[in-house]
Structure 1
Amino acid sequence: MTDQFDYVVVGGGSAGAAVASRLSEDPDVTVCLLEAGPSDVGDRNILELNRWMALLESGYDWDYLIEPQENGNSFMRHARARVLGGCSSHNSCIAFWAPAEDLDEWESMGLTGWGAKDVFPLYKRLETNDGPGEHHGRSGPVTIRSVPPKDPCGVALLEACAQQGIPTTEFNSGTTVTHGANWFQINAREDGTRSSSSVSYLHPVLDRPNLEIRTNAWARKVTFDGTRATGVQYLDEDQIHTRSVSARREVVLSTGAIDTPKLLMLSGIGPAEHLREFGIDVLVDSPGVGSTLQDHPEGVISWDAKQPMVTDSTQWWEIGIFTQTEEGLDRPDLMFHYGSVPFDMHTVRQGYPTSENAFCLTPNVTRARSNGTVRLRSRDFRDKPAVDPKYFTHPHDMRVMTEGIKLARKIVEQPAMREWAGAELFPGPDVRTDDEIADYISRTHNTVYHPAASVPMGTEADKPLDARLRVKGVHGLRVADASAMPFLVTVNPNITTMAIGEKCSDMLKEDNA
C-alpha cells in the first residue's frame, strides 16, 4: 500500500467525493480519499432513502450536542454523517439549486468565479434531472427527480396553499421562488436509492486504479513542512495506530462545517489565543476559523390527522413552501417543509401531546442572522468540538419563525384541509400571542441540519479562505465543503455543496496544470 499520492482528500462526503472522483478522471493523477466512517456500499440502512430518519443519533451519526443556548433549545443536537457520502448519505435528499441572488451576492463580495453564471453550469454538469427546461443537466452523475404527488394529504396541502394565496410554483426553474409551493425535487433514483455523492461519484469508479478510498480513517491533523501542507496523519481502522499519507500537490479538507474548523485548529490554523489555550503551536493566526457558523433554525407545528396518513413515502418530507414576511425581498426569508409524520423529537419532553397519525409544517429561517462558533474542547482529536449555534441571538430570526407558525395555521385552516386537519397537537390552540409562540419555539425548535460558513471564503483579512478555496497563510491546502460558503444559501444546501466539490476539482486542475 502506497502512502504518497498527488492529492489527499480528507472526508468522503458531499463535496469530497466529487473532488476525488473528478481529480482521478485523469489516469496520471493519483488520489487518496480518507473517510472516518464506514463504506456505504451494500448498506441498505444508508442506501434506502426512506430510512433516513433512523440514521439520526445512530452509529452513522457524529451526533454533536450543542452548547447551552441562552435563547434556544439546549437539548438540540447536530447530526453529521459518519459514513462514505457524508451528509448526502444521511439526509432527506431535498435537492435545490441555490438562488442566483445568493451566488451573485457571493461574487459581489469579491469572490470571482462564484456568481450564478459560474455555478449554474456546475449544477447542470452534476445532475441528471427530470425537470423541464434546457438549463437542466441530463447526463450528470447525480440523479435528481420530482417527487410524485402520491400523498393525498400533501395534495390537499398544496390546494390549501393556493387558497391562502401561495401558488403552486416550479422549483429549480432557474428563477428564484419568493412566494410559492410544490413537491420537492430529490436526489434519489426511481427505486428509492439515494443518489448521494458516494453513490453518484464513487460507486461507479471503485475499481479505478489511481483512486484509493480508505474508510474508517479518522484524520488527526494536517502535516506541514514550514507552511506547505505535505499530508495528513490519521488513526488507522484498528483504532490504535497512527498512519501518515503524503500529498505531492495538495491536501483538500472536506470534513464539513463542524469538523473542518476543528481539523484546521488541531493543525495550528485558527484563533491564536484559542489554540494556545490547549497548547497547540500556532501556524497561522486565523481568527475566522470556526467563528461564523450559520444554520437554518426550524420550528414545528403539528396536527392530528382525521384520515390515515401514508405508510410509504420517498422520504416523508415531500413538499416545500416559500414566502416572505416583509415586502421587497429578492429571496424568501421563510420556508416550510411538510412532513407526513409528527416530528415530535423536541415536543414530547415538554409535555405536548403527540400522535403516530399526524402531519406537520416546519417553518425555518432561510437567512438567519444569528452566527455561532465551533471551538475545540481539547487538543485530543477524539474529543467532540464545542458547537454553539447561538440560536435566536438576533431578533430577526425569532420574528420570522413566529410569523411562520401563524402562517402555517392560516394554511391549514383553509377549506382544502378540512378533511385532514384534526386537533392541533403542538404548540396547541391556546398558544396565540407572539410572546407565547416565541416561548414555545425557544423550547422546542430543531434545525434543518444545515451548518455552514464556519471557514468562509472572503477578501477580508479575517476570512480563512480566498476565492479559490485556498487556506490563507499556507500553501497546498484547500477547503471544499459547506464551511467555505461566505454565507449559507437560502435553500437546502446539499447540491450546492456538491457543486463546491465540482468547482474545487476544476480549480485544482487549473492551478496544478
Structure 2
Amino acid sequence: MQFDYIIIGAGSAGNVLATRLTEDPNTTVLLLEAGGPDYRFDFRTQMPAALAYPLQGKRYNWAYETEPEPYMNNRRMECGRGKGLGGSSLINGMCYIRGNAMDLDNWAKEPGLEHWSYLDCLPYYRKAETRDIGPNDYHGGDGPVSVTTPKPGNNPLFEAMVEAGVQAGYPRTDDLNGYQQEGFGPMDRTVTPQGRRASTARGYLDQARGRPNLTIRTHALTDHIIFAGKRAVGVEWLEGESTIPSKATANKEVLLCAGAIASPQILQRSGVGNPELLRQFDIPVVHDLPGVGENLQDHLEMYLQYECKEPVSLYPALQWWNQPKIGAEWAVRRHRHRRQQPVRSGRFYPQPRRVRLAEHSVPLPAGGD
C-alpha cells in the first residue's frame, strides 16, 4: 500500500491532520489507530456526566502506570491515555482551556518560533471552535469543535469556589479563554449543543470519513516506522489479532501523533533514541537522540475532602438506583444535562518567577451529603 501521508494515531492531533490534508482530493492519507471506533451509542464516551467510566478498563484507555516515583514514596501513578478514534479527547475531562498568552509570547522569542505568539495563534483558536453563545474577538462561531459555556443554574459548589477566590483577593473573570485569563471563573467545555462529548473524531474526522482519499485502519497497532537512511518512508503495524505485519509506504511524510507516551515508544522501537537503551533490546540505531522517552512532566491530581452543609454535591448521581433515570433523561433531553458535568470552574493566578498556575474544581463525592 502506498499513500502520500501516513498518520500514526487518530487522536487530538492525528484527526485534525487527516481532515485538513484530505481537503485536497489529490492527497492520499492513511490514518492508523491502535484502538477501536468511537462507538456513538456507548454512553461511557458520549455522556459528559459519565466521564469516569471510560477511564475504567482498557477498552478506551491505555491505562499506563509510571515507574515507582522516588519523591512520592515510590508509588506508581496512574497515567490514562485515550485509545480509539478521538484519542485522549475520547476520555478526557472536556475542559476547554487555551495556553496562557505569556507562555506563547515567550515561545515566540525563541529562534524559529517567531510566529507562535498569542496574537499569531488566536486566529487558529477561533477557527477551531464553535462557541454556543456566538463568536467574538476571542472565540469562533463556525469551527469543528463545539464549545459550551456554563449556564444559569450552575452547581452552587462551583459558584462558591469562584466567590471564595474573589473574597481572597483574586479577580473574577467571565472567560478563561478571553481578554482576562487571570482570576476565578467558569470553565468552557468541549460539549455539543445536544449534550454529547465533542471529541476530535466527532468534530474533525466526521467531516472526512467519506472522502475516498482517506483510509482509516482501527485496531492497527504500530510496530515501527520504516527508515531509508534517516528519512521516514513507511510504517509496519499489526492489525486486529493478526501476527503478520501490515506495511505501507509514504510518498511524502510519516506523521507521528501517538501522544506523549506512545510516540517516543514508537520512535525507540524504530531506532530513534538513546543508543545504550536501544542496544539492550537489539534495536538497530537509526538516529542517536538520547532525549527520546525522557523528561516527561505531568501535573498531579490532588483531593481535598470537605463536608457539605447542604445536599448539593453529585453524590446522588453515583447511586446505582439513580443512574438509569439519569441516563434516560440524558438520552431524551441531552441539552439539559450539560449541567451535570463535574468540571465547571477554574482559575489562573500568578506566582513568583513568572510561573502561571492553573487549577480546576471537580466536586466529586467521597461519601453521603
TM-score by length of 2: 0.87
- Counterpart residue number, 1:250: 253
CA contact (8 A) 1:230 1:246 kept: yes
For each residue in 1:309-331, what CA deviation from the matched residue of structure 2 results, as whole angstroms up to 9, or x when unmatched?
A: 244644311111222344x73x5
> Using the alignment, how far apart are the partners of 2:25 and 2:287 within structure 1?
35
> Using the alignment, how far apart are the partners of 1:170 and 1:152 within structure 2?
16
CA contact (8 A) 1:233 1:244 kept: yes
- Counterpart residue number, 1:195: 198
> Using the alignment, how far apart are the partners of 1:287 and 1:30 within structure 2?
33
For each residue in 1:29-63, what CA deviation from the matched residue of structure 2 results, as whole angstroms up to 9, or x when unmatched?
A: 11110000000042332122221111124221111
> Using the alignment, how far apart are the partners of 2:265 and 2:178 within structure 1?
35
> Using the alignment, how far apart are the partners of 1:155 and 1:128 within structure 2?
25
> Using the alignment, how far apart are the partners of 2:177 and 2:296 within structure 1?
29
Letter in 2 for 1:27: P
> Using the alignment, how far apart are the partners of 2:351 and 2:266 within structure 1?
38
CA contact (8 A) 2:176 2:185 kept: no
- Counterpart residue number, 1:71: 71
- Counterpart residue number, 1:332: 356
**Aligned pair in 2 of structure 1 residues 101, 356: CA closer, same or farther (>3 Å)?**
same
- Counterpart residue number, 1:45: 44
Letter in 2 for 1:68: P
> Using the alignment, how far apart are the partners of 2:144 and 2:345 within structure 1?
24
Letter in 2 for 1:169: T
For each residue in 1:89-110, what CA deviation from the matched residue of structure 2 results, as whole angstroms up to 9, or x when unmatched?
A: 1101101121121112222222
Q: CA deviation at 1:189?
A: 0.8
Q: CA deviation at 1:291?
A: 2.0
**Aligned pair in 2 of structure 1 residues 131, 66: CA closer, same or farther (>3 Å)?**
farther
CA contact (8 A) 1:271 1:288 kept: yes
- Counterpart residue number, 2:109: 108
- Counterpart residue number, 2:173: 169
Q: CA deviation at 1:136?
A: 1.6
Letter in 1 for 2:251: R
CA contact (8 A) 1:147 1:314 kept: no
TM-score by length of 1: 0.63
> Using the alignment, how far apart are the partners of 2:351 and 2:37 within structure 1?
43
> Using the alignment, how far apart are the partners of 1:251 and 1:64 within structure 2?
25
165-174 or 250-259: bigger deviation:
165-174
> Using the alignment, how far apart are the partners of 2:340 and 2:19 within structure 1?
27
> Using the alignment, how far apart are the partners of 1:136 and 1:235 within structure 2?
41
Which structure 2 residue ranges, 5 or more long, are not aligned? 318-336
- Counterpart residue number, 1:18: 16
1:61-460 maps to which residues of 2 (within 5 A)?
61-72=61-72, 74-112=75-113, 113-129=115-131, 130=133, 133-149=136-152, 150-175=154-179, 177-178=181-182, 180-308=183-311, 309-310=313-314, 311=317, 313-326=339-352, 329=354, 332-333=356-357, 335-342=358-365, 354-357=366-369
For each residue in 1:228-249, what CA deviation from the matched residue of structure 2 results, as whole angstroms up to 9, or x when unmatched?
A: 2111100011342210111111
CA contact (8 A) 2:220 2:238 kept: yes
Letter in 2 for 1:272: P
**Aligned pair in 2 of structure 1 residues 161, 131: CA closer, same or farther (>3 Å)?**
farther
CA contact (8 A) 2:97 2:177 kept: no
304-313 or 254-263: bigger deviation:
304-313
CA RMSD of aligned residues (A): 1.9
Q: CA deviation at 1:172?
A: 4.1
Q: CA deviation at 1:306?
A: 2.0
> Using the alignment, how far apart are the partners of 2:238 and 2:50 within structure 1?
30
Letter in 1 for 2:360: H
**Aligned pair in 2 of structure 1 residues 314, 106: CA closer, same or farther (>3 Å)?**
farther
> Using the alignment, how far apart are the partners of 1:15 and 1:279 within structure 2?
31
Q: CA deviation at 1:278?
A: 1.4
Tell me the secondary structure at the aligned position of residue 306 of structure 2.
strand
> Using the alignment, how far apart are the partners of 1:173 and 1:280 within structure 2?
45
298-307 or 8-17: bigger deviation:
298-307
Which structure 1 residue ranges, 5 or more long, are not aligned? 343-353, 358-513
